[in-house]
């Protein structure tokens, strides 16, 4: 019989954090939480995509924004984390 466990995270913010950086932190926590629940590892994503674990971490934390890796993460976890970018005409 499997046991449910509650996983909680504390999100630390300070005076230097603006609304945008807080939003990135919240998204990163959601991704990590869902990945953990589904048994997904970022190192496996990195191997599958042919990039470094650090690069995946930078994407999750919002420091890099390659759409193909974001799409991969969203497909893997079955959720949308980043709003669609507006196309400039």
pLDDT tens column, 31-48? 999 999 999 999 999 999
Kindly state whether residue 83 falls inside one of the protein's structural domains.
no
Kindly state whether residue 31 falls inside one of the protein's structural domains.
yes
Kindly state whether residue 29 falls inside one of the protein's structural domains.
yes
Burial class (CB in 10 A: 0-12, 13-18, 19+), 81: middle
The predicted model gives 25-34 an average pLDDT of 90
- Parent domain of 24: 19-77
User: In this structure, are residues 40 and 55 in contact, taking their beta carbons and an 8 Å threshold?
Assistant: no
Kindly state whether residue 14 falls inside one of the protein's structural domains.
no
Summarised one tens digit per residue, pLDDT across range 49-84 is: 999 999 999 999 999 999 999 999 999 999 999 876
| Torsion sign, CA atoms 72, 77, 79, 81 | negative
Kindly state whether residue 68 falls inside one of the protein's structural domains.
yes
The pLDDT assigned to 7 comes to 63
User: Which segments of the chain does DSSP mark as H helices, in order?
Assistant: 19-38, 42-49, 53-60, 67-77
């Amino acid at each position: 019989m499997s046991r449910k466990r509650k996983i909680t995270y504390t999100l630390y913010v300070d005076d230097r954090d603006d609304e945008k950086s807080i939003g990135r932190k919240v998204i990163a926590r959601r991704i990590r939480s869902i990945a953990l629940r589904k048994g997904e590892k970022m190192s496996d994503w990195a191997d599958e995509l042919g990039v470094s674990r650090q690069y995946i971490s930078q994407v999750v934390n919002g420091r890099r924004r390659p759409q193909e890796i974001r799409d991969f993460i969203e497909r893997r976890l079955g959720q949308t984390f980043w709003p669609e970018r507006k196309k400039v005409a």
